[in-house]
Structure 1
C-alpha cells in the first residue's frame, strides 16, 4: 500500500534550515523522562519557572511594561536598561516548558494550565507596550534612555530585542501561537529598516544577542532579510564602531581573532551567531574562526568546571592560562552561552568534542548556578571560598541569592533547563547520534527515516547506559519495510575523561570497539527491541592543571565521571580548608550518600594539616624561609569528604575549594 508520511521538524531552540551546511540535525522529538536531569528539570518546572512572574513583578520589570503601555502610573523601576530581557528569557523558559512532550499532570510537568495563563497575560502586556512602528524598549520609552539607539554601547535595545525574538520563536514552536511572534517580527522589521547598508544607522549593540535571534527568526519565517542583517551585525564588530574595546567585541573583527577576549558572555553570544551564520551560508572563513576560537578558549581560558571568565572587572576573559580560584568569575550566564555556542558547533561539524564541553559545563559550571531547591541562585561561580570569607552580598556574592538587581542569570538557567531535551540527540544521513546521556525517548530524521531510541541510565552516578531501538519509520511506499532492512549507524559519544568502557550489542558479549574522533559507532540493520548497553567506568581520579595555570600549580582536583568535586567546610572536621593538603599516598574512594544533598556520590580522601613553621621572630608576618624542596611538615591525617561541585552552597555558609594543594613540588612549565 502506498503512503506518504511527513517527519516532524525539530522544535528546539536551534533549527538549521533545509539548505544549511550542518553535519547534524537536532532531534525531531525528545523527552527526558527519568534520572538525574529529569529530577533537576522537575524542580525547574515546579519551583523556578512558576516563581518567575512574582519575582519579575517585585523587581519592577512588569510594572515598566505596564507603564509604557499606559496601564500604570509612576516612574520606571529598576536600575538597568535591559530590564525587559529578563521578562523575555522567562517567557522563553515558560514556552519550552509548555512544549514538553510529557503529558500535563505527569511527574515534573508542572501546572501547565496556570503557566499558560501567565504566559498569555505577559505576552499581551508585551504586545500592549509595543509602539506602532514595532519599536519596544521600556527604558527608552519611559524616558530613561534618551533617543532610540542613542547609546548602542550601553543601551541594550538590540540585546533586549534578541531575547524577545528568541522567546517568540520558542512560543511559536512550542504552542503554535503567533501572538508573540507577531510582536517580534514587527520589531525585527523596525530594526532592519534602521540598521544596515544604506540605512539610517551604522552600528551594533554592545551586547551581542540580536544576531543569533535574527538567524533563528529567519529559520522560523523564511525571511532572508533577517539572516542578512545578522551577518551584517556580526561583521561590523571589530572595526572601532563602538570605540574599539575588546569588552564589547569591537577591538578586532571576529574573522581575525586568535583567542576569545573581552566580556565572556558577549563574546560567546557573538560566536554562537557566527556558528549559525556559517551553517546557513556555508561561509568557510567564519566556520574556521569559530573552530579556532573554540579550541583556543578550551585550551587556555576554560576552568575545570567549564566555567568561563577570569575577571570580576568587566566580567571578562583573562590572559591565556589565567585561571584564578577564589577570584574566578565564571558567570552562570557564560556557562549558558558556552552550551549555546558548543551545541551550534556540534551541529555544524559533527565533532564529539563539543559534546564533551557541553557535558562538563552542564554538570558543573552551569548547574551550580541554581540551588537544589530551585529558588536561590549564584551569579558568579568561584572555585574557592576562603576561610573567614566576608561577603557583602549583591550580584557578585559567593552566597546564594533569591534574585539579583541584574537578574540575567536565573531566567537564563530556567530557559536552558526547560529546553534541555533538545541538546541530547541528533540525526544525519547515516543514523542517530547521542551527545548526552539522559533517560528518555529521542527521535531523529535520518534522511527521511524516523529513528527512535529510548535511553535508560542512572548517569552520572553510575556509568551504565542502555539504548533500545524503539522504532524505524520510513516515508513513501513500503517505507517501514525498506527502512527496517537498511543498515544505519548508532553513534555514542565516549566522553573525553573516559579511559575504559565496554559495550554489548543485541545481547552479544562485551566488546571494546575502536573509538573514532570521540564517537563509538555501531552500524547494523537494526530491529525494534535491539539494545546497546554502554558501560563507562567511573573511576575517581585526580586531575592536575597545565603548569602554566599558576593559580593552581601544585594542586589537584578530584573528578568522577563528568563531575568535578569540591571540599566544603560543612563536611570537614577540625576547622577550615585553607591549610589542608591532600595526601597522595592514600586512595580516593566513592561512596553513595542518599541522605546528603538530595542524594549524591561523595568521594572520600585523606588530607593533612601541615605544621607550618613560622620564621623566628616574625609570627606576625605571613611569609617564611622556603623549605628548599623539603615540603611542609606533615600533621595528623584528616578524613576528607568531597561533594559534587554542582551541589555546593546548599547548606550553611562556609569555605569551599575545588583545587587542593598536595604539598608536592609543582611541575615546572614546559613550552
Structure 2
C-alpha cells in the first residue's frame, strides 16, 4: 500500500486540525527563535566564530526546514518564508565544491571528514535529504534537492567507490530512510543503491560491532529490538521501505519479529520505547519503570514512522493500532498544549519532591545538571534542550498526520482508512470526506465517491473498540462496490477501561491503568486535593466522562476511588483508614501544563 500526498489530504476540523494550527502559528516560530538564539541558524553560514556549531546542529535546522515546507504548502507566511529562504540560501552558498556540507566539520575539522562514525555526519545529511524532498515535492523548490544530489554523489564516491572512509555505516541511522525517500521522488537508482549499501553492510565490520547502533549483527539476522531506540526505529523504517521496494521477504519477516518484540515486551502503554537513559535504549524484556522511564519523544516519533511503513508493507491493521497509540500519547506528551515547550523524556510517574531533590543536587556540577535536566524526568516542559532533536521532530510529524489517514494499494482497487481525523481526500480515483469526533467519541461519518470504479473499502476497527460489526474481517470493516457519494456511519463506542500489564512487568504488579478510546489517562496533583499515591482503583462503572470538544485537554474523567489515610507510621500492621474520594483524570498528553505536581498513570487495583 501507499500513502496519499499531503496535497491530496487536508485536515478540516477537530482535534488534529487544531494541533496543526498551533503548530504553524506557535511551534514552528518558537523553534526558529530558540534555534536562532543558540546559534543553529548562524552555524549554517559556516563562519568560525562563537557560538561554535555542534556536530548535530545541521539536523535540527533540516527538520525545521522540512516542517516549514509542509506549513508553507498549507498557507503562505511571509516571515516563515523569509527564514526558510535565508537558511536554504546559506546552505547552497556554503556547500563545498565536492558536494559535502556539514557546518561543523567543514569549519572546525575539515581534515577529519568521515573519520568519526558517531559524530552524525550522515545523520545530518539524511535530514537534509528529507528536507529537500519536502521542499521539492510541496513547494516546487529544488534548491535543496540540487545540494543533495551533489552531496549524494560525494558520499557514494567516498563510501562505495573509493572506500576511503574510516567507517562503513553511520553510527546514527537516518540517511538510509532519507535516501529511499529521495529515490521515491526522483527514481534515481543511485539513491536506492546507496541505501542498500548502508543496510547490507551494517553489522559486517568489526569496527562497527556495537549493539547501541544496531551493528552487532547483519540486519537480516536481527529479530529483536536492540540498542538506541531512535536509531533503531529509523533503521527499521528504512528496512521496511527497502523491503517494500525490493520485495525482500526475509527483511519483512525479521521486521515482524522485531515489531512483536517491541509491542509485547518493550513498549510503554503510551507507545513510548527505550526505557533507560543509559544509552537511550531498549533494555531487557519487560523492563518498563514508570518514574525513571526514558521514553524519548523522538523514539515515539520513530515508532510512528516504523508503523506507517509496516502498514504500507503488510496492510496489517495492528500497525495502525500502535501508530494511533504512539501518536495520541507518546508523541503529544512531548509538546505543551501551547505548542512552545517540550519534553525530551516522558515519565509515566512524577514524584515532585523526589525530582526536585534530584535537580537541586544536580546543580552542583555541570555534568550532573545535564544528566538530570536532559536525561532524567523533569516536572515541567522547557523551551529548548542542548540536544533539541525532539521539538522539530514533533513539528514535522504533526504536519505529516494527513498521510496516516488513508492508504491505497498499487492498483487503486483497495482503499484503507486507518486514522480517524476530520479531513478531505481528493485523488484521481476517489474523493472522500471524514467527519470524526475522535478522541472525544468514537463516531465517524464517511462520505465517499469512487468515480465509477468498483473498489474495496477497509475501515480499521481500533484495538480499544468493543463494538461488534457483521462485516469485520481481520480487524477491518469491509465494504465493496461502486461508491457514488455514499455515506457510511460508524460508532466505535469508546469506554473507560482498565488495562492490565503483563505480570512480568514487575513495576506494574497489582496495578491498572485507565484508558478511554486511544487516550491513556493519568492523575495529577493539580486536580486532586489528596495524595494520588494513596489511591486504589476499584469499580469504574460509576465514572463520569466529560468530553471537552473546545479544549485541548480533550476530556475529563472523574470516578470514585478508595483513598487510604496516612497512619502516621512508616510501617504499620494496620492499613490507614479507607475513605471514598473522587479522583479526576486527564489525558496523559496533557499533564504538566499547569503547575509542577505529582502525576501517575498506573494505580494499585482494589479488585
TM-score range, shorter chain: over 0.9
Question: 1:84 — aligned with what?
Answer: 58
Answer whether contact 2:28 2:395 (CA < 8 A) is retained: yes
Q: How far does residue 113 in structure 1 lie from its aligned partner after superposition?
A: 2.9
Question: 1:640 — aligned with what?
Answer: 583
Question: 1:38 — aligned with what?
Answer: 17
- For the residues of structure 1 that align with 2:220 and 2:542, how far apart are their CA atoms? 48
- The yes-or-no answer on 1:435 pairing with 2:428 is no
Question: 2:477 — aligned with what?
Answer: 520
Question: 1:50 — aligned with what?
Answer: 29
Question: 1:93 — aligned with what?
Answer: 67
TM-aligned CA distance change 1:253 to 1:623, over 3 Å: farther
Q: How far does residue 149 in structure 1 lie from its aligned partner after superposition?
A: 1.0
TM-aligned CA distance change 1:26 to 1:84, over 3 Å: same
Question: 2:464 — aligned with what?
Answer: 497
- For the residues of structure 2 that align with 1:598 and 1:220, how far apart are their CA atoms? 36
Question: 1:4 — aligned with what?
Answer: none
Question: 1:650 — aligned with what?
Answer: 593
Answer whether contact 1:24 1:349 (CA < 8 A) is retained: no
Answer whether contact 1:568 1:656 (CA < 8 A) is retained: yes
Residue aligned with 2:520, SS: strand
Q: How far does residue 231 in structure 1 lie from its aligned partner after superposition?
A: 1.2
Residue aligned with 2:112, SS: coil
Question: 1:373 — aligned with what?
Answer: 338
TM-aligned CA distance change 1:348 to 1:265, over 3 Å: same
- For the residues of structure 2 that align with 1:180 and 1:578, how far apart are their CA atoms? 53
Answer whether contact 1:123 1:179 (CA < 8 A) is retained: yes
- The yes-or-no answer on 1:255 pairing with 2:220 is yes
TM-aligned CA distance change 1:487 to 1:219, over 3 Å: closer
- The yes-or-no answer on 1:541 pairing with 2:497 is yes
- For the residues of structure 2 that align with 1:345 and 1:465, how far apart are their CA atoms? 25
- The yes-or-no answer on 1:487 pairing with 2:487 is no
Q: How far does residue 278 in structure 1 lie from its aligned partner after superposition?
A: 0.4
Q: How far does residue 487 in structure 1 lie from its aligned partner after superposition?
A: 2.5
Q: How far does residue 232 in structure 1 lie from its aligned partner after superposition?
A: 1.5
Q: How far does residue 592 in structure 1 lie from its aligned partner after superposition?
A: 3.1
Answer whether contact 1:243 1:250 (CA < 8 A) is retained: yes
- For the residues of structure 2 that align with 1:437 and 1:159, how far apart are their CA atoms? 33
- The yes-or-no answer on 1:267 pairing with 2:222 is no
Answer whether contact 1:59 1:77 (CA < 8 A) is retained: no
TM-aligned CA distance change 1:599 to 1:216, over 3 Å: closer
Residue aligned with 1:605, SS: strand
Q: Could you tell me the TM-score, scaled by structure 1's length? A: 0.84
Answer whether contact 1:26 1:347 (CA < 8 A) is retained: no
Q: How does 1:130-145 map to 2 (within 5 A)?
A: 130-144=95-109
Q: How far does residue 287 in structure 1 lie from its aligned partner after superposition?
A: 1.2
TM-aligned CA distance change 1:437 to 1:594, over 3 Å: closer
Residue aligned with 2:429, SS: strand
Aligned-residue Cα RMSD (Å) equals 2.0
Q: How far does residue 222 in structure 1 lie from its aligned partner after superposition?
A: 1.7
TM-aligned CA distance change 1:200 to 1:113, over 3 Å: same
Answer whether contact 2:213 2:227 (CA < 8 A) is retained: yes
Q: 2:399 pairs with 418, 421, 435, which one? A: 418
Question: 1:553 — aligned with what?
Answer: 509
Answer whether contact 2:168 2:205 (CA < 8 A) is retained: no
Q: How far does residue 75 in structure 1 lie from its aligned partner after superposition?
A: 3.5
- For the residues of structure 1 that align with 2:101 and 2:553, how far apart are their CA atoms? 46
- For the residues of structure 1 that align with 2:525 and 2:129, how far apart are their CA atoms? 44
Deviation per CA, 1:335-360: give whole Å up to 9, x if none: 11001111011111111110101111
Q: How far does residue 198 in structure 1 lie from its aligned partner after superposition?
A: 5.5
Q: How does 1:182-201 map to 2 (within 5 A)?
A: 182-196=146-160, 199-201=163-165
Question: 2:368 — aligned with what?
Answer: none
Q: How does 1:122-521 map to 2 (within 5 A)?
A: 122-144=87-109, 147-152=112-117, 154-196=118-160, 199-201=163-165, 202-391=167-356, 392=359, 394-396=373-375, 397-398=377-378, 399-428=380-409, 429=411, 430-444=413-427, 450-469=429-448, 471-473=449-451, 484=452, 486-501=453-468, 512-521=469-478
TM-aligned CA distance change 1:146 to 1:648, over 3 Å: farther
Residue aligned with 1:368, SS: helix
TM-aligned CA distance change 1:519 to 1:24, over 3 Å: farther
Answer whether contact 1:97 1:419 (CA < 8 A) is retained: no
Q: How far does residue 387 in structure 1 lie from its aligned partner after superposition?
A: 4.2
Bigger helix fraction? 2
- For the residues of structure 2 that align with 1:360 and 1:128, how far apart are their CA atoms? 42
Answer whether contact 1:442 1:454 (CA < 8 A) is retained: yes
Unmatched runs of 5 consecutive residues or more in structure 2: 360-371
Answer whether contact 2:3 2:404 (CA < 8 A) is retained: no
Residue aligned with 2:473, SS: coil
Deviation per CA, 1:457-516: give whole Å up to 9, x if none: 1111011100002x444xxxxxxxxxx1x4222211000111115xxxxxxxxxx32321
Answer whether contact 1:555 1:660 (CA < 8 A) is retained: yes
Runs of 4+ in 1 over 4 A off after TM superposition: 611-614, 622-625
- For the residues of structure 1 that align with 2:604 and 2:399, how far apart are their CA atoms? 38
